[in-house]
């Protein structure tokens, strides 16, 4: 099966940026903290109930395109960390593990912008995203008569012996505030794509990300 071309989201983003010249807002930089985990379960057990959110980051470029009245389109390209970690004790054997997955994500959000005063807005966003897995790794450590560390590269693909499918997609929702081009926001991405290549036992693997962001839009023009 041919793999999706990661350059396609970049082309789409460039087209949307060009649209903002006609009636849009601006282009900005965005970054911040990720708290990531996954939903992982099969027909017998929900493994993710033992998982702990893993701290990571996101950073990228955003475009804000004014549509009409309070409505805008916000899109961009974000490089970010997803994954999960866990820390369990099995009959005296302490096991710590974490999986880090690096993605390039393209969100396309409808944004509602409400002007509180001259340079202060509050916002709400809702929309889909698509992500492309770039690389990742798994690390496990345990002490059973001596410390042991295991580190493996993530094997991406659609075959049953692969670890994770590359293409992720889902929906994001968020709230935020803007002041004179400065932005802060809190958002949540709900992964809808089943990233598990093996589904014979009802296996499911889906990303979950809480994102705390800050940024700045250049040439910011707040809509009426």
> Quick one: tokens of 140?
């496990």
Q: Which residues pair with 126 in a beta bridge?
A: 110, 173
202 by Cβ neighbours in 10 Å (0-12 / 13-18 / 19+) ranks as exposed
Whether residue 168 is predicted with pLDDT greater than 80 in this model: the reply is yes
The reported pLDDT for the residue numbered 116 is 94
201 in the Ramachandran plot: left (φ > 0), alpha (ψ -120 to 50) or beta? alpha
Whether residue 64 is predicted with pLDDT greater than 60 in this model: the reply is yes
| Radius of gyration for the chain, computed over Cα atoms and rounded to the nearest angstrom | 20
Residue of 204, 157, 208, 216 lying closest to 187 (CA atoms)? 208
Cβ neighbours of residue 102 closer than 8 Å, sequence gap 6 or more: 79, 80, 81, 82, 133, 134, 135, 136
Q: What is the β-pairing status of strands 204-218 and 182-191?
A: antiparallel
Cα separation, 122 vs 166, whole angstroms: 35
User: Among 1-15, 125-139, 192-206, which stretch is predicted with the lowest mean pLDDT?
Assistant: 1-15
More confident residue, 220 or 206: 206
Residue of 217, 163, 218, 150 lying closest to 195 (CA atoms)? 163
Q: Residue 132's CB: how many other CB atoms inside 10 A?
A: 21
Ordered domains of the chain (ranges, CATH): 7-218 (2.40.160)
Q: Whole-prediction pTM value?
A: 0.83
Q: Residue 58's CB: how many other CB atoms inside 10 A?
A: 22
Cα separation, 118 vs 178, whole angstroms: 11
The reported pLDDT for the residue numbered 89 is 76
User: Among 5-14, 46-55, 150-159, which stretch is predicted with the lowest mean pLDDT?
Assistant: 5-14
């Amino acid at each position: 099966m041919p793999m999706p071309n990661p350059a396609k989201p970049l082309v789409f983003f460039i087209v949307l940026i060009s649209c903002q010249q006609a009636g849009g807002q601006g282009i900005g930089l965005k970054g911040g903290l990720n708290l990531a985990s996954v939903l992982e379960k099969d027909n017998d057990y929900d493994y993710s109930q033992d998982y702990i959110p893993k701290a990571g980051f996101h950073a990228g470029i955003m475009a804000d395109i004014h549509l009409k009245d309070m409505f805008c389109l916000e899109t961009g390209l974000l490089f970010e960390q997803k994954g999960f970690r866990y820390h369990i004790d099995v009959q005296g054997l302490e096991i710590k593990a974490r999986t880090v997955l690096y993605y390039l994500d393209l969100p396309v959000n409808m944004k509602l912008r409400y002007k509180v005063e001259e340079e202060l807005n509050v916002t709400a966003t809702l929309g889909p995203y698509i992500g492309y897995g770039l690389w990742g790794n798994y690390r496990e450590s345990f002490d059973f008569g001596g410390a042991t560390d295991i580190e493996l590269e993530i094997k991406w693909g659609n075959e049953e012996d692969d670890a994770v499918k590359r293409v992720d997609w889902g929906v994001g929702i968020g709230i935020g505030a803007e002041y004179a081009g400065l932005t802060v926001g809190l958002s949540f991405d709900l992964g809808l794509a089943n990233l598990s290549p093996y589904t014979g036992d009802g296996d499911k693997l889906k990303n979950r990300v809480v994102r705390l962001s800050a940024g700045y839009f250049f040439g910011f023009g707040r809509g009426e």
